[in-house]
């Protein structure tokens, strides 16, 4: 039987969609449509669920076209979501950055909060660059990898 190599939809709402990539990572595509704070939280919450379900540690985050996070969203992601995501195994985030300055600033505010966490973010202009880096990172958290 032929295995489907195209990413499969894991979750979708007005804020964006999460895709399961056969290469062993989660793809996040943020929406340019209007969305509510609870939809942002739902998308982030389902990111954690996917990391746990598949024992993944990598996320490819496409922010092209997204709106900036509000101050409240930034605080929630930094203080509440990031610690949960790291606990779930999140270790590497490849961000395809938006051309919008306010989106970049909001993202920088969040990614600078990871100093004491075992999490590495890298920003890229293109998906090809982001994928090249992300695929060089371990697909599962260190405590979950089997050593032979």
Q: What is the pLDDT of residues 17-44, one digit of tens each?
A: 999 999 999 999 999 999 999 999 999 9
Q: Which residues, in sequence order, are CB contacts of 52 under 8 Å at separation 6+?
A: 88, 89
- What would the mean pLDDT of 71-77 be, rounded to a whole number? 93
The predicted structure's pLDDT at residue 109: 83
Note whether residue 42 is domain-resident: yes
Tell me what pLDDT residue 143 has: 64
Q: Round to whole Å and give the CA distance between 18 and 10.
A: 5
pTM of the predicted model as reported, rounded to 2 decimal places: 0.89
Q: What is the pLDDT of residue 123?
A: 94
> Range of 59's domain?
8-144
Inside any domain, residue 87: yes
CB 133 within 8 A of CB 107: no
Does residue 2 form part of some domain?
A: no
* pLDDT value at residue 148: 33
| CATH number where 27 lies | 3.30.750.24
Residue whose pair of structure tokens reads 């998308």 in the numeric block: 43
- Tell me, letter by letter, the H, E, C secondary structure of 102-147: HHHHHHHHHHHHHCCCCCEEEEECCHHHHHHHHCCCCCCCHHHCCC
Query: For residue 4, what pLDDT is reported?
Result: 58
Residue 13 domain-assigned?
Answer: yes
| Tally of domains in the chain | 1
pLDDT mean across residues, the chain:
90
**Structure confidence at residue 141 (pLDDT):** 87
Q: Is residue 89 part of a domain?
A: yes
Q: Cα dihedral sign for 43, 49, 54, 55? A: positive
- Does 73 score more than 70 pLDDT? yes
Give percent of the chain above pLDDT 90.
76
- pLDDT per position as a tens digit, 124-147: 999 999 999 999 999 988 764 444
- CB 36, CB 69: distance < 8 Å: no
């Amino acid at each position: 039987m032929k295995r489907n190599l195209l990413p499969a939809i894991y979750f979708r709402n007005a804020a964006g969609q999460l895709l399961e990539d056969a290469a062993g990572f989660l793809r996040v595509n943020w929406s340019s449509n209007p969305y509510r704070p609870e939809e942002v939280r739902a998308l982030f919450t389902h990111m954690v669920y996917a990391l746990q379900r598949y024992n993944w540690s990598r996320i490819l985050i496409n922010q092209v076209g997204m709106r900036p996070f509000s101050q409240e969203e930034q605080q929630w992601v930094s203080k509440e979501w990031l610690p949960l995501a790291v606990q779930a195994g999140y270790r590497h985030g490849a961000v395809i950055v938006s051309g919008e300055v306010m989106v970049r600033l909001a993202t920088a505010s969040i990614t600078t909060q990871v100093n004491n966490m075992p999490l590495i973010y890298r920003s890229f202009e293109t998906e090809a660059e982001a994928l090249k880096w992300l695929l060089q990172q371990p697909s599962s958290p260190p405590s979950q990898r089997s050593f032979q």
